[in-house]
Structures are given as C-alpha cells and as structure tokens.
Structure 1
Amino acid sequence: MTTKANFPAAGGSVVVPYGHVVGNEKWRGSEIAQRLQGKIKLIFEDGLGLVDFHLSNKICILYISEADLVAGDDFKRRLVRFRNANSLGGIVIVERTQISDQYFIAVQKLVVLELGMVLLPVANQAEASQLITQLVREQSKDHNSNPFLRKQCSQLLEPSVFRTVQQIPGVGKTKALLLLQQFGSIHRLCNASVEELEVVVGQTVAQQIHTFLGS
C-alpha cells in the first residue's frame, strides 16, 4: 500500500496517516524496512528528499550509516541543508560501530550542539528498526506534542541524552544527571553561563563544559 502526497524535496509539510511511518523509497527492501514491516504500518514514497522516514507530520528521521560516516562530509552538508530548509523536528539516527566510533564525537557535537537536533546512536539497522518502532509508539501516546521538546525527557529519550551529556569532557554519570536535573535539556545547558554551571559541577568542570560547548 502506498499513500500519495506532495513531499517537498527538503522534507517540508508532510501529511502522514496517523499510526503510519512514511519511508523514503530508497529504503524499500532494506533490512530496516523488512524488520519494521509487521510491527508498524510502513509505506514508501518518492520525493522525500533529505528525509529517510517521517514519523508524523512534524517529526522525521535522518539516518546516517557507518558508510556515510566513513565516506566523508556529505552527511554533514545534508544535515545542515535539512536544518536550514525547514522547521521539522529532526531525529538523527547514527550507526555507531567500531569502525565509525572515531567520528562519533564530532557528529554528536554537530547534531546536538550546533544544529539542536536529537541524536540517537544505534549499532546496526536491526537496532534502528527497534528504535523507530519505539518512537512510533511514543508518538501514539502523545501525538499532539513533540516529546523530544518537553523539559522532562521521555523514558525513551532520556538514556540517549544522558549518554550525550556524559561525552562532555569532565562530565561523568553523576555530573550528567545533576546537569540534566538542573537545566532540563541540552539546549539550556549550551546557553548556561560559567557561573550557572559552577553551582552544579564546580569551577573547573564548569569551565571545561563552557569551553567545549562554545558558549
């Protein structure tokens, strides 16, 4: 079954039937598509442009594979083009493997800190299909709002945000938890002053965080 709609090249306003996921035609026959079939209602369309999957009218996924990371900077230009072209809520799924791990920190900084998008690492397409299924179920619970923009993280997103904050130099599990409890989101953390950070983690780590985030 294929639902026809007018999909702008940059992934603009898209009508996604409730309870469905609209996938880019290029994913037809892939492992991720095969694993999604039967778990969710997956339909394919040409013309999604930069977007790989639309979870709803306002939230979509851009998938960065291990091969994309190794190949060079094309994926970075794609992400920047997407971010500049529309106001969709973009979730970036990245294959973090032994081969691509060396690129992950740079990708994390670009996606989360510079572009303000959600980053979710996966090991492979099988794990990605499980994640997309969870995201769709999360949407069905709260389809009138974007769960990724709420101050209180959803149970699904919280581990990813938690891991992301831990990657900041000088921040471990305890400090990451304290920072998220204090600031509520990575966006607010990026905008925090050294003085505000000092209250939570002390002067030395506060300066490290401030320098890393480029505030």
Structure 2
Amino acid sequence: MAAMRRALILLPLFLAACEVPDMLELERAAENTLRASVFLPPIKDGLRPRRHEAPAGALEEDEVAVTNGPTLVVTYGRQRKVMTMIQGQGEQRMWRSDDGTVVATDGARVVATAGTETNLSATRFDSPDPLDDVTALVERPAMARRVVDLSPAQRDPGRMRFGVSLECRMRAARVAEGLYVEERCGGGARFLNRYWADAETGAVWRSEQWVGMEDRPMTIEVVSPPAN
C-alpha cells in the first residue's frame, strides 16, 4: 500500500588581443564562480537549475515572538510565513502559520498543503522516498515515482487534478557546507526541487519544493528542528 512521503560576484574577463572568446563559455564561467561562492556545484553539460529568490534567513523581530518549539520559515511568491509544529508522529509532522496556512511534511518532503493558492491534497509513493536517505544519493542517484492530488483554494471541481503522475530523478553532491540535492521531475508536471542537508546526518535544513503552484516553488527553512 502506497505510503505518504515527502542557495554578483563579478568575474574579471581578460580578452586576448588576437582571439575572440566564446561568450557562452565566459557566461558559464562567471555563473560557476557565483555558484561556488554560495557552495553550489558548478554547471556542467548544460545543467542549469532554475533560479528562485531566496528568503531572508533570519527571523524578523515581530516573528521571533511567535516562535515556540520546532519552527519553519516558509516562503512562496510574496508570501513569507513562520510556521510552528502543531502535530507530530515520527517523521510525519504538521505545521501551521498564524493565518491558518498548513503544511504537512514527511521527513523533509512536503506532502500536503492547505491555505495556499493551489493545495497539494495528497502525495503517494509506490516505493521508499530516496529523500529519506540523502547521504546515499551521493553514491547512488535514484528514481522515484509518485502520484499527487491538487485542488484550488476555491475547491472548484472543474480545476481539481487527481492522480497527477510524476517520475523524478534525484542526485546529490558534497559541497563545502554539506550536501546539495537536485530532484528533476517530469510527467504530469515538470519542475526542479533543490535541497541542502547536513553532510553527516543528511538532515535537510533548506529546500525549494514544487507543491502544485505553477512556477512558484515553496521554500522551507528549518529555524528550529523537532527533537529526534
């Protein structure tokens, strides 16, 4: 039975007097210098993750007062919300913001949302989620198949999508400050998820995940993790 599962540095350009450089290569070199400065692996063979604006890492003064226990900062579009854990059983947890937005996670994976423009109603895997063992992805890239249900906030039956099938490829690389994971998915939707994890434990402390909102990933930052 299927189970519920789950970062401009200017590069000096020296032009040789008798040779015109390959501008695409120069652009790639400049971008790789930038990526190295934030501990991301270089772009190779056309690999170019989508860019998203990163949220502020620290809590604002008015946000600190609302934190109590395990806490996430969740950002999507122009929305930025502090969420506290309201329920937890093992790796399955539920988080809620003051305005009532809810995010359910299984480990680091967002498996359901409520109160967003498009709600991720359910997530079903037909095999173990590779995100459960991030460190193993360094040596062994993996594939995962899952099915998701999507529902608009207005619950218009004509816009609901059930049984959206996804096929995803995951791989990880060791970087200066831990592990960096890319998850490329296709099928009923095409997107790129990104995760940053502790090198020793594999615990994900930041991620950018597709949750059904078109071209608007959800960024999750762990401010205070749940106790083990």
Using the size of structure 1 for normalisation, the TM-score is 0.29
Greater radius of gyration (CA): 2
More strand by share: 2
Using the size of structure 2 for normalisation, the TM-score is 0.28
More helix by share: 1
Q: Relative contact order (alpha carbons < 8 A, sep ≥ 6): 1 or 2 greater?
A: 2
